[in-house]
A and B are shown apart, each in its own frame.
Chain A
Amino acid sequence: MIPKVIIPVGYGLNCEDETSHAFKKVGARVDKIFLMDLIKKPDLLGKYHILAMIGGFSFGDHIAAGKVLANIYRFKLGNDVQQFIDEGKLIFGECNGFQTLVKAGFLPRFERNYGTQYVTLTYNDSGVYEDRWVRLKVNPKAKCVFTKGLDEIYLPVRHGEGKFIVGSKSDLQKLQQRNQIVLQYIDNEGLKTMNYPHNPNGSVEAIAGICDSTGRVFGMMPHATAYLSSYNHPHWTRLKIEDSMPNEGEGIQIFRNAVEYLKKNLI
């Protein structure tokens, strides 16, 4: 069977085209559903295997990035999303989607139930929005189904509020001990870094992406959907001459992993 992806759209979200292309490219079927239609009929979710929470500026990022949308997920769709997770399905959040998941308390979700906010994403230390390519280290021990087999990825961040902050030291330890830290910003030596611009926003522990304890809910600030074709690389014209151009963009494997996982485990 073919895994089915739902992408809620509207209200300033804007990465639906590239996210849709990413999932289709690895063999999934994709429906873009207007957010209000989903709120009116939350059981629509039951038809799908992946909930893709895309990038953009939901509600303009007004008040705080992802906050207004997070409240909608939390107060209007919370139980349906919880059930979705409990059924063994996958949630992918990128940029605004990650901010939403965190603020709605679906990540890191230390307990089974959603709703408690343990971490947040706030203004970059630079104080400005930036579009910048960064190197990311994938935690090999993370349970995340999306990043299996990946070691390092090169992707752009495009955000003004991407600084990852944990509410307490003990929560940070929990994230570390439970291997819920999935992606970290690294420098040219391949080491996790607090130095700008390699760590573009000042994120604690250089955290760029985390998963929940099941490994099936995953959020990341960088845009995997921005590097689907090898020609998206910011200096592919140079890689071409050095004969080191990859066959496809490095972001695509994240979507392939999701689809493969579902084929193996759920459908």
Chain B
Amino acid sequence: MIHRVIISFKPEIPDTLGIRVKNATENFLNLKINSIRTKRVYTIDADLSRDELKLITSELFVDPLIEQIDEYNQKFDWLIEVGYRPGVTDNVGKTAKIAISHLLNRSLKEEEGVYTSIQYLLEGSKLTYQDVEKITKEFLANDLIERWLIRSSRDVKRKRIEILPPVIRGEEKITVKEYDLNVSDNELMKISKEGVLALSLEEMKAIKKYYSGLKIIAERRKMGLSNNPTDVELETLAQTWSEHCKHKIFNALIHYREGEFEEDINSLFKTYIKRGTEELCKKFPWLLSVFVDNAGVISFNERWNISAKVETHNTPSALEPYGGAMTGIVGVNRDPLGTGRGSKLMFNMFAYCFGNLFYKGKMAANLLHPNRIRQGVHQGVIDGGNQSGIPLVMGREIFEERYGEAKPLVYCGPFGIMPKKISGDLAHIKKIEPEDVIVMVGGRIGKDGIHGATFSSEELHKDSPIQAVQIGDPITQKKMRDLLLEARKLNLYKSITDNGAGGLASSVGEMAILSNGCDIDLKKAPLKYQGLHPWEILLSEAQERMTLGVDVTKIDEFLKLAENRDVEATILGRFRNSGKFHVKYDDRTVAYLDLVFLHSGVPQKKLVAIWEHKQHEEPQFQQPKNLSKILNKILSRLNICSTAKKIRQYDHEVKGLSIIKPLIGKEHDVLSDSTISILEHGSTEGLIFASGLNPHYSDIDTYHMTASVIDEAVRRVISVGGKLPSSDIPFAALDNFSWCDPEQSEKTPDGHYKLAQLVRACKALYDYSKAFDLPFISGKDSMKNDGVVFGTKISIPPTLLITVIAKMDDVRKAVTLDLKKPGDLVYIIGETFEELGGSEYFRFIGEHKRGKEYIGNTVPKVNARKAKKIYNLMSQAPEMELVHSITTPTKGGLAIALAKSAFAGGYGIYVRLDKVPYHGDKRDDKILFSESNSRFIVTVPKDKKDSFESIMQGIAFSHIGFVLEKPIFWVKGADGSDVIKTALDDLKKSWTTTLEMM
């Protein structure tokens, strides 16, 4: 029996969702709507008595003080109801089912369920059906996961709304298909394309060859298999060999050319990323587990290790921003959870790159508006993180048109802690032995996210498969996390890994390497609904699941604990020493693959990279007359303005361990350059978090882009009181490359250049990792961030996010960027060059003068030798408590850094540009807006002047001004005239207004 309970707020209670939708609609669609009221709908598909339904309605669904059961008695013109499509996770519905069981003191049947939807009642006499449909598609529903109906008020009054609950009734016959690979090359590629396998011809041929081996044929015959791969096998190979999992571009053999210079690079990963860290492993005993596990692990102190991982979730976030981003954060959370013997999740971070939020033109059919993407992505990570009880330690955003046209980037990542040892064993090492029991824990399996791994390795096109989009369930995951921590303490499992891309195929397949084999039966796997084929069960990327290796003597105890903690745990099979990836379905073998072939059989790619220096137009313009006005305008630009409104919606202090928060200053509205948390209450040892991100430099040279972002991340650590890495100071980095397709092809005629951009970035990563002794402990790449807009291929600018963590011995000496005391002396440390290539200033001037940004050529560079000296000296200042504030000029240069410090402190500032150590065309605008690296702005109390200056000997530094009591921003130009003198409040208003309402 289907029951519908429809609830709305009492008329006197503000309907905040309705108000928000109304505002958005009016702002973006220019439609006049008098009012929007919303109603929550619960569709209950269960056998309930009349009394039971009454009880559920009054005691569970309705808050009697503010809500009422509805009768459509208010005035409206249109009704829209939006609900999920069948199979999409409905978290509220799931909870409602549990709550009903509690209330009725009886369990609902497996096939019974509760499904939620929302009704929007629009009042607006001029609205047409087409308007309402547009509102629905643009703001209320995403076709990929939701369905809707639209009714006029007359229709609603005339007849009941009948909506079938979105139930999946699996009736399909379970099959295992075979593929005949003894076909032409064209046919092979057809198999790959039609199956969304994303395998190249060379890879298909390698697979074909494997299946023709006589030994293989004989072994397969014994298992009852033919010479042809089953769909289970081919799908497993495709996902294991996907770009997402095997990083084929980073492991390719690359022939690199740069003018006369040529070289062969055998794997960018080994040559430039892993090598530097391996060299450092000899020096730094705190490097425990690098590039081998789901997350990198370093030692923090004698009690704790730290695990860290950052991932991207770009394609799903482009298609369904809320679900995609939420799955991004909740999914990557399972990486530390599945590292070594498992970590406790402590902190989260994010970095997003979006298109122009104010874009007014026509959108291509496959793209959502950048603003809609931004809203959804934020909300997804806000809900995912907050509901997981994990505080956000840092978040930043970058805006650039190409992220709106090709793909948005959604980076997020967690940091976890694990004890040094668990029952005498090192906690960062997984142990798997033959005969260990394979157990799947957490959520159930559905068709969710099938082909996620192969799909994310493809560019975004109109027919991207919908199963790739999911919604996370942080509460199911939290329950599982609580169980796993308890089980870890009791030493109930030996190994753990997460089910992410590739599902069980990936988790079991990878763990099986350690024991040299496995054997599982997919029939045992718990399903959300019937009708899944074996390959779908194996490949499903349904969320909130971990795979464990449990010692056979502990299995009963583990299963008992899981049951007590209300978490589903299922035995799937055993790890073996057979050399085989052996999968059965109800005892019939459906996959029997050599583990060595599965993991090492993928042929190495051979690629060509050709670097050429691209000359951009060098902007020629006079210094603007009114620099105050220019500063106001730059402060209001998307890449500079305040994003505090969104940051505040992330819980950044649950656990009570935050020392320097993401929002700081008198009004807590300025983003700190870096943040600090302790790991345990009462401790003074802290962990510093910082990042570097600046894709705008990539258009000139990815080498210097990379150098700049590494410098930015390191400098931010120093600015808050950190020190450069040493054998005593754990300080490690994570690299996340988001690139455009760099493989030369018809679709990518500039592939050679794009690959050279990647090579140059990797070269810089190695060079600066060496220079700063900075090890990279984990990383990830996302290589196909391209899109097609009205027939034109658009690629994102090559983007590298550097995330760093560093230990601080005594957090009580931390320094923040806010000005703190009138009369303090303002210093600049480091040299300023005429480096405006890729700068925010050039972009602004170009847009202003010719409607398109200037890029220029003088990209900021990093002199590592000088920078290292500056950082070593600068880190003594907080240690000796000589300074009141430190900040790091980056985007927008000196001017923006000074302004933000002043905003945070609420005090004015006075500086003289003639005092700034500067090399280049002595123009005030260039000095103010140059983005030279390795610089700090420091404020020093008068009585510490001499001590501070004596420490800085040997590097470029200069006393350039004072902190003022009066809130004005006052800059004297190189010729001694006032080039800016303006009220701080006015500047701050420019800086806050842009995104205040978004």
Q: A residues touching B (Cβ–Cβ < 8 Å)?
A: 9-15, 17-18, 21, 25, 34, 36-37, 55-57, 59-64, 67-68, 71-72, 75-76, 103, 117, 119-120, 122-133, 156, 158, 165-167, 223, 225-229, 231-232, 234-235, 237-238, 241-242
Most buried by B among A9, A72, A158, A166: A158
Q: Which residues of A contact B475 (CB under 8 A)?
A: 11-12, 57, 59-60, 62
Checking B98, B474, B664 against A234 with a beta-carbon cut-off of 8 angstroms, the contacting residue is: B664
Q: Which residues of B contact A67 (CB under 8 A)?
A: 60, 63, 99
Residue pair B63, A132 in contact (C-beta under 8 Å)? no
Q: A129-B651, A130-B649 are in contact. List 20 more A-B contacts (CB 8 A).
A: A10-B566, A12-B387, A15-B656, A25-B681, A36-B565, A60-B92, A61-B387, A62-B92, A63-B61, A68-B60, A68-B99, A71-B60, A117-B64, A127-B16, A132-B668, A166-B65, A223-B653, A231-B812, A232-B659, A237-B818
Complex CA–CA separation, A14 to B474 (angstroms): 12
Most buried by B among A36, A120, A235: A235
Complex CA–CA separation, A228 to B657 (angstroms): 10
Residue pair B59, A71 in contact (C-beta under 8 Å)? yes
Residue pair A14, B811 in contact (C-beta under 8 Å)? no
Complex CA–CA separation, A242 to B907 (angstroms): 14
Residue pair A75, B103 in contact (C-beta under 8 Å)? yes
Residue pair A68, B102 in contact (C-beta under 8 Å)? yes
- Tell me if B195 counts as interface (CB < 8 A to partner A): no
Checking B95, B386, B665, B812 against A129 with a beta-carbon cut-off of 8 angstroms, the contacting residue is: B386
Complex CA–CA separation, A68 to B649 (angstroms): 24
With both chains docked as a complex, state the minimum distance between the C-beta of A197 and any C-beta of chain B, in angstroms.
9
- Tell me if B482 counts as interface (CB < 8 A to partner A): yes
Contact with A along B561-590 (1 / 0, CB 8 A): 000111000000000000000000000000
Q: Which residues of A contact B479 (CB under 8 A)?
A: 10-12
Residue pair B389, A59 in contact (C-beta under 8 Å)? no
Complex CA–CA separation, A237 to B565 (angstroms): 42
Known: A34-B565, A57-B475. A10 touches B664 (CB 8 A): no
Residue pair B66, A59 in contact (C-beta under 8 Å)? no
Residue pair B60, A63 in contact (C-beta under 8 Å)? yes
With both chains docked as a complex, state the minimum distance between the C-beta of A36 and any C-beta of chain B, in angstroms.
6
Residue pair B387, A127 in contact (C-beta under 8 Å)? no
Q: Which residues of A contact B668 (CB under 8 A)?
A: 132-133, 234-235
Closest to B817 in A: A237
Contact with A along B488-514 (1 / 0, CB 8 A): 000000000000000000000000000
Residue pair B655, A17 in contact (C-beta under 8 Å)? yes
Residue pair B66, A130 in contact (C-beta under 8 Å)? no
Q: Which residues of A contact B650 (CB under 8 A)?
A: 131
With both chains docked as a complex, state the minimum distance between the C-beta of A189 and any C-beta of chain B, in angstroms.
16
Contact with A along B347-389 (1 / 0, CB 8 A): 0000000000000000000000000000000000010001111
Q: Which residues of B contact A119 (CB under 8 A)?
A: 65
Checking A34, A60, A122 against B66 with a beta-carbon cut-off of 8 angstroms, the contacting residue is: A122
Complex CA–CA separation, A115 to B545 (angstroms): 38
Complex CA–CA separation, A60 to B389 (angstroms): 11
Closest to B824 in A: A241
Residue pair B63, A122 in contact (C-beta under 8 Å)? yes
Residue pair A234, B663 in contact (C-beta under 8 Å)? yes
Complex CA–CA separation, A167 to B12 (angstroms): 12
Residue pair B63, A231 in contact (C-beta under 8 Å)? no
With both chains docked as a complex, state the minimum distance between the C-beta of B415 and any C-beta of chain A, in angstroms.
16
With both chains docked as a complex, state the minimum distance between the C-beta of B308 and any C-beta of chain A, in angstroms.
20
With both chains docked as a complex, state the minimum distance between the C-beta of A15 and any C-beta of chain B, in angstroms.
7
Complex CA–CA separation, A223 to B386 (angstroms): 15
Known: A15-B389, A63-B95. A21 touches B656 (CB 8 A): yes
With both chains docked as a complex, state the minimum distance between the C-beta of B482 and any C-beta of chain A, in angstroms.
6
Closest to B566 in A: A36
Closest to A202 in B: B14
Checking A14, A223, A242 against B478 with a beta-carbon cut-off of 8 angstroms, the contacting residue is: A14
Q: Which residues of A contact B715 (CB under 8 A)?
A: none
- Tell me if B983 counts as interface (CB < 8 A to partner A): no
Checking A122, A131, A238 against B649 with a beta-carbon cut-off of 8 angstroms, the contacting residue is: A131
Residue pair B96, A63 in contact (C-beta under 8 Å)? yes
Complex CA–CA separation, A64 to B99 (angstroms): 12
Residue pair B654, A55 in contact (C-beta under 8 Å)? yes
Sample 22 A-B pairs with CB under 8 A, ordered by A number. Answer: A12-B474, A13-B389, A18-B681, A25-B681, A36-B565, A60-B95, A60-B387, A60-B475, A62-B96, A63-B99, A71-B59, A120-B63, A131-B648, A131-B652, A131-B653, A132-B668, A133-B668, A158-B653, A229-B681, A232-B656, A235-B664, A238-B666
- Tell me if B13 counts as interface (CB < 8 A to partner A): yes
Known: A10-B482, A11-B479. A17 touches B13 (CB 8 A): no
With both chains docked as a complex, state the minimum distance between the C-beta of A157 and any C-beta of chain B, in angstroms.
11
With both chains docked as a complex, state the minimum distance between the C-beta of A48 and any C-beta of chain B, in angstroms.
21
Number of A-B residue pairs, CB cutoff 8 Å, is 180
- Tell me if B820 counts as interface (CB < 8 A to partner A): yes
- Tell me if B290 counts as interface (CB < 8 A to partner A): no
Q: Which residues of A contact B91 (CB under 8 A)?
A: 60, 62
Residue pair A237, B652 in contact (C-beta under 8 Å)? no
With both chains docked as a complex, state the minimum distance between the C-beta of B663 and any C-beta of chain A, in angstroms.
7
Residue pair A72, B816 in contact (C-beta under 8 Å)? no
Complex CA–CA separation, A242 to B941 (angstroms): 12
Complex CA–CA separation, A127 to B566 (angstroms): 33
Known: A57-B386, A228-B681, A241-B884. A122 touches B13 (CB 8 A): yes
- Tell me if B20 counts as interface (CB < 8 A to partner A): yes
Complex CA–CA separation, A227 to B657 (angstroms): 9
Closest to B92 in A: A62
With both chains docked as a complex, state the minimum distance between the C-beta of A202 and any C-beta of chain B, in angstroms.
8
Residue pair B98, A68 in contact (C-beta under 8 Å)? yes
With both chains docked as a complex, state the minimum distance between the C-beta of B996 and any C-beta of chain A, in angstroms.
12
Complex CA–CA separation, A64 to B42 (angstroms): 13
Complex CA–CA separation, A76 to B652 (angstroms): 34
Residue pair A15, B59 in contact (C-beta under 8 Å)? no
Q: Which residues of B contact A9 (CB under 8 A)?
A: 482
Complex CA–CA separation, A120 to B63 (angstroms): 8
Residue pair A75, B564 in contact (C-beta under 8 Å)? no
- Tell me if B832 counts as interface (CB < 8 A to partner A): no
With both chains docked as a complex, state the minimum distance between the C-beta of B675 and any C-beta of chain A, in angstroms.
12
- Tell me if B426 counts as interface (CB < 8 A to partner A): no
Complex CA–CA separation, A38 to B95 (angstroms): 20
10 closest Cβ pairs, A-B complex: A14-B389, A127-B16, A18-B656, A62-B95, A60-B475, A21-B681, A62-B92, A120-B65, A12-B475, A68-B99
- Tell me if B292 counts as interface (CB < 8 A to partner A): no
Contact with A along B783-815 (1 / 0, CB 8 A): 000000000000000000000000000011011
Residue pair B649, A128 in contact (C-beta under 8 Å)? yes
Q: Which residues of A contact B387 (CB under 8 A)?
A: 12, 57, 60-61
With both chains docked as a complex, state the minimum distance between the C-beta of B721 and any C-beta of chain A, in angstroms.
10
With both chains docked as a complex, state the minimum distance between the C-beta of A79 and any C-beta of chain B, in angstroms.
15
Closest to B646 in A: A128
Residue pair A15, B60 in contact (C-beta under 8 Å)? no
Complex CA–CA separation, A223 to B652 (angstroms): 13
With both chains docked as a complex, state the minimum distance between the C-beta of A128 and any C-beta of chain B, in angstroms.
5
Residue pair B811, A72 in contact (C-beta under 8 Å)? no
Complex CA–CA separation, A129 to B652 (angstroms): 12
Closest to A10 in B: B482
Complex CA–CA separation, A156 to B94 (angstroms): 31
Contact with A along B432-451 (1 / 0, CB 8 A): 00000000000000000000
Checking A103, A117, A124, A232 against B653 with a beta-carbon cut-off of 8 angstroms, the contacting residue is: A232
With both chains docked as a complex, state the minimum distance between the C-beta of B443 and any C-beta of chain A, in angstroms.
14
- Tell me if B149 counts as interface (CB < 8 A to partner A): no
Q: Which residues of A contact B681 (CB under 8 A)?
A: 17-18, 21, 25, 228-229
Closest to B40 in A: A63
Closest to A20 in B: B681
Residue pair B65, A59 in contact (C-beta under 8 Å)? no
- Tell me if B821 counts as interface (CB < 8 A to partner A): yes
Complex CA–CA separation, A61 to B99 (angstroms): 12
Q: Which residues of A contact B655 (CB under 8 A)?
A: 15, 17-18
Complex CA–CA separation, A225 to B389 (angstroms): 14
Residue pair B389, A56 in contact (C-beta under 8 Å)? yes
Complex CA–CA separation, A17 to B656 (angstroms): 8
